[in-house]
A = this chain, B = another copy of it.
């Protein structure tokens, strides 16, 4: 046994059976940030007010990506999200934007991957829209913050 549930006893990848799991309300919250040059952040913040709305576009991309998660992650179960919210926090002192995604479903499997995928695509979209002025941006700290529902109960990231 490999210790990973995504492989069967013979070590072959499979989409693990969840029919026996109970249908509960499951929530996951994921975060990630993109670090850029101060001048790039300034352009983004000006745009939100009256020019191009980088974060508005990134928010839509994140929400739409959450719905494609099971197409992108091979062993993910398809599931019907009941809620997705995307929040951007600007950290001016570090010239960074943080993206926090909350995803929810009523189902038999968790929504961690939906939240993480949405956060990643939200950050990638910021990169795409700003890359002409700042090719060296870096995405960091993409991780799960919190998870509720299911057998494993409430999990909160350390620190």
Contacts of A106 in B (CB 8 A): 19
Per the 8 Å Cβ criterion, residues 107-128 of A in contact with B are 107-108, 112-113, 116-117, 120-121, 123-125, 127-128
**Would you call A99 an interface residue if the criterion is a C-beta within 8 Å of the partner chain's C-beta atoms?**
no
Partner of A19, one of B54, B67, B72, B82: B82
4 closest Cβ pairs, A-B complex: A7-B52, A17-B83, A2-B51, A11-B51
- What 0/1 readout, one digit per residue, does chain A (44-79) give for beta carbons within 8 Å of chain B? 001100111110110111011111101111111111
Please judge, given known A-B contacts A5-B132, A7-B52, whether A74 and B79 are in contact too, CB under 8 Å. no
Q: In the complex, are the beta carbons of B74 and A57 less than 8 A apart?
A: yes
Q: In the complex, are the beta carbons of A15 and B125 less than 8 A apart?
A: no
Rounded to whole angstroms, the CA-CA distance of A80 and B23 in the bound complex is 13
Would you call the interface of chain A mostly helix, strand, loop, or mixed? mixed
Q: In the complex, are the beta carbons of B140 and A19 less than 8 A apart?
A: no
**Would you call A133 an interface residue if the criterion is a C-beta within 8 Å of the partner chain's C-beta atoms?**
yes
Q: In the complex, are the beta carbons of B75 and A129 less than 8 A apart?
A: yes
Please judge, given known A-B contacts A83-B19, A104-B17, whether A128 and B50 are in contact too, CB under 8 Å. no
Partner of A138, one of B14, B79, B141: B141
Partner of A77, one of B71, B82, B124, B137: B82
Q: In the complex, are the beta carbons of B128 and A113 less than 8 A apart?
A: yes
